[in-house]
Amino acid sequence: MGVIWSIPQDLVTSVGNWMYPVELDKEETYYWNRNTQIKWDKEGADELLREIKERLSPFKEKKQTLNILVIGPTSCGKSSLCNGFKTTLNQKKEVVQFFRVGRREDESYTKNFQFTTLGDCVTLYDMAGVFESRHIKTEDILSIIQGRVKFTGKIDDFMNPTPPATSEAQNNVSCLVLVLKPGMELPVHLKRIIEQIHKTAGEGELGYHVILTHLDEVDHCFKDTQNLNKLFSSPVVQKKVEYISKQVGTPPNTISFVRNYCYETQSDINSDVLFLHAFKQIINAACEQEEKRAEFAAAAAAQD
């Protein structure tokens, strides 16, 4: 008589009438930002700010603007993210409320392209949650992310973007920032937008970065900002990054986490350091994109 093996139910999965052992997660196999060295103090914040300014210096000298377009579903924290960047980069003690923030899951105060200038040569655009509309056309998505529209005016659900006048320069998007909640299931319309982002980025026309918000909801220990220095060693955070990386189809090193200022009226150094670290990744992507454009333009000119 053969031996009957008993396998715990939580270690098997079923397909039809067949049972298969579940592949157990191996510990320490996912290493998102595990080698990142950050000083979680004012010295660390000053160092990050200095690195950002140095990276932007050539563009500032050329008076070339980097356009950063922030998009994402309603209530994912786009406007709070922009407020956090403005607070941190301007070294404000009081949390900036430049971009108005909705408080309900279905509420968005962003009905047009809100924008602000940071560091003299960076323009940050907060895009309305209109991308959630099923009415928006693929060509309109491409017009926006490729900068072929006027980043002004009201936005409706049908999103008929206004092209720039012939005398106006095209607003090249240096980096598109996709803001998401960790663990969210991507709806069909958002997958369609992401598909266009990948297509445009793959053709060398767009830099992009993913920002995950609501960090304090991922792991309650991060409700206390003193625990932010545990971010890169948190198994829960690692799993969320791995999940979004697979959902969006982007490498983990193009993903950053932030803890938005939602309840606080004053900034704190640990949150500032995290904002600066995320902003540095965005600026690196934007600068690399503009350097790539310059190389392509120079190569094209050499062939003429």
Could you read off the pLDDT of 187-208 as tens digits, one per residue? 887 888 888 888 888 777 788 9
Residue 85 has pLDDT above 90, yes or no: yes
Helices (H), the chain: 42-61, 78-89, 138-145, 188-202, 215-218, 235-248, 269-303
Structural domains in the chain, sorted by start:
37-303 (3.40.50.300)
Q: How far apart are alpha carbons 251 and 248 in whole angstroms?
A: 9
Residue 3 has pLDDT above 80, yes or no: no
Between 14 and 52, whose confidence is greater?
Answer: 52
Alpha-carbon distance values, 291 to 76, 198, 250, 284, 294 (Å): 31, 19, 21, 10, 5
The mean pLDDT of 292-302, rounded to a whole number, is 88
Between 143 and 10, whose confidence is greater?
Answer: 143
Residue 165 has a pLDDT of 52
Residue 2 has a pLDDT of 47
The mean pLDDT of 19-40, rounded to a whole number, is 64
Residue 21 has a pLDDT of 41
The predicted model scores a pTM of: 0.81
Bridge partners for 66 per DSSP: 122
Residue 4 has pLDDT above 90, yes or no: no
Look over the chain and give the mean of its residue pLDDT values, rounded to a whole number: 80
Give tens-digit pLDDT for 270-288: 999 999 999 999 999 999 9
DSSP conformational letter for 266: B
Residue 106 confidence class, pLDDT cut points 50, 70, 90: very low
Give tens-digit pLDDT for 211-233: 999 999 999 999 999 999 999 99
Q: In the chain, how many H helices and how many E strands? A: 7, 8
Residue 12 confidence class, pLDDT cut points 50, 70, 90: very low
Cα dihedral sign, 140-144-147-151: positive
Residue 301 has a pLDDT of 86
